[in-house]
Structure 1
Amino acid sequence: MILTNIPDDNAIIGDDIGILQDIHLKTKNIAIYQRGTESWMKGLNRAIKWPIQCRANGTVEEITFSLNYYFTNSPHLNESLLEDILSLLELFEQVTKSSFFRVLLATVNTNMCRRFHADNNELRMLCTYYGPGTLWLPDYAVDRKAYLARKSNQTILRNESLVQQVDTGDVVILKGALYPEAIPILHRSPSIEENSGERILLRIDTNESLKLLK
């Protein structure tokens, strides 16, 4: 059983887009912007019929060019979805103050990350456009010693009923292990293989290491 909307000191959750800026607060390691069903969702019926696999690295301008090219050559993807992705990329740039990013837009039909884990980066933005959203743990639900010892999910979890889940379409920013002086959020992908499920996932990471390539 998954319980939602339980207040927790390490999470900031609300329907004001400005809360995403609060990810920089020392006590927060996850920010969730809860937004209603957007216009782009109406066009996803066609999108789920063809596999999506789009990756782009670089500045916002470089990634925008790559995404425009991909969407131009993918008639099953609608313009409103592209506009939403680009707006989220610009928002992530404002929140992170970074200059370089890695973007993945993909159809997912595997469980991806089965174990609760922290990302090896500073910040990550996720939006599940179709299918179940990301699972995450309040800090009080985590046995950090078990996690660091690479124990199983059952051992890491203090209580399985405390697992939280981001709603489809909501925007989440996660603190990773490289964020200065942070306790990174533990999260994992939802289980979908068992039911032959599918997701359309947007993932944006900060990637300051790309400066070395310029």
Structure 2
Amino acid sequence: MTAYALEHDTDNLPSAAATALSPVVFSQIYKPEHNIAIWQRNLTEQLQAEVAESITANPDLSINAVINQNTIVADINKALEKLPQAEELKADLAQLVDMFCYLFELKRTGLRLRVLERAMCPRFHVDRVPCRLVSTYCGSGSQWLQNAGLDRTKLGAGHQGLSDEESGLMTANTKIHSLNVGDVALLKGETWQDNEGKGLVHRSPALAAGEKRLLVTLDFIA
């Protein structure tokens, strides 16, 4: 089996990725050459503590909510009523929703916040969405591939039962990039205008025994 390198060094990311230490990087997702925009950040100690406490108290946490742009704070407080002490987490989610709605001129967005014990989407795939926000508060981060050198016919049923590493999707030189805890990424999907066949190829990370991951995603709502 070919060994594929995991790449965490954001200084060596491909040109398709826009990265910065500020959320201003999100506007780069509008450029055709970028299919991922990453705000690199570190979580505060308080936020990390709230996340750990929330996972311990709610190991099966799974929240799905519609957040309206005009009532973000109220909607998030209601959605996270199981987490009454997680004030910084709520504030952080409110900030992410506000930026997401502003960037894409959305009146509402779909929020999912889940504690995961295994890979939710273990195979590389593309999303049939315009764009999705992804961030990991705890645990391993999402993995993604640059477009160059990929055989997209091996996505989905095209893998014919073989693993991503064996199906021919990637070459021996392909680097598997990983987001870090705290990073906030916009993943451009297949239904973004003029992006058919160029959506970001990504997957959930494999989790070690006993590892828990707290993942948030934001999506467009028609």
Could you say whether these structures have the same fold, taking a TM-score greater than 0.5 normalized by the shorter chain as the test?
yes
Distance 2:93 2:72 in 1: 11
Determine helix, strand or coil for the equivalent of 1:139.
coil
Distance 1:67 1:54 in 2: 10
Pairing 1:153–2:159 present: no
1:62-99 per-residue CA deviation (whole Å, 9 max, x = no partner) reads 55433212334433x41000000000000111221222
Pairing 1:131–2:139 present: yes
Equivalent runs, 1:48-197 vs 2, <5 Å: 48-49=55-56, 50-51=58-59, 52-61=61-70, 64-75=73-84, 77-147=85-155, 150-151=158-159, 152-154=163-165, 155-159=168-172, 162-182=175-195, 183-192=198-207, 195-197=209-211
Q: Quote the residue 1:212 is aligned against.
A: none
Distance 2:190 2:111 in 1: 19
* Distance change (3 Å), C-alpha of 1:115 and 1:148: closer
Pairing 1:205–2:193 present: no
Flag the structure with higher helix content. Answer: 1
Q: Quote the residue 1:2 is aligned against.
A: 6
Determine helix, strand or coil for the equivalent of 2:112.
strand
> 8 Å contact 1:56–1:63 — kept in the other structure?
no
Distance 1:46 1:122 in 2: 34
Distance 1:82 1:7 in 2: 31
Pairwise CA distance, 1:146: 2.6
Distance 1:7 1:54 in 2: 32
Structure 2: 5+ residue stretches without partners? none
Determine helix, strand or coil for the equivalent of 1:32.
strand
**Which amino acid in the other structure matches residue 172 of structure 2?**
N
Pairwise CA distance, 1:110: 1.9
* Number of residue pairs aligned between Structure 1 and Structure 2: 206
Structure 1: 5+ residue stretches without partners? 210-214
Identical aligned residues as a percent: 24
Pairwise CA distance, 1:13: 1.3
Q: Following superposition, which runs of at least 4 residues in structure 1 exceed 6 angstroms of deviation?
A: none
Distance 1:11 1:130 in 2: 23
Between 2-11 and 110-119, report the one with greater CA deviation: 2-11
> 8 Å contact 1:2–1:161 — kept in the other structure?
no
Pairwise CA distance, 1:149: 6.1
Pairwise CA distance, 1:27: 0.6
* Distance change (3 Å), C-alpha of 1:73 and 1:42: closer
Cα RMSD between the aligned structures? 1.9
**Which amino acid in the other structure matches residue 7 of structure 2?**
L
Pairwise CA distance, 1:153: 1.1
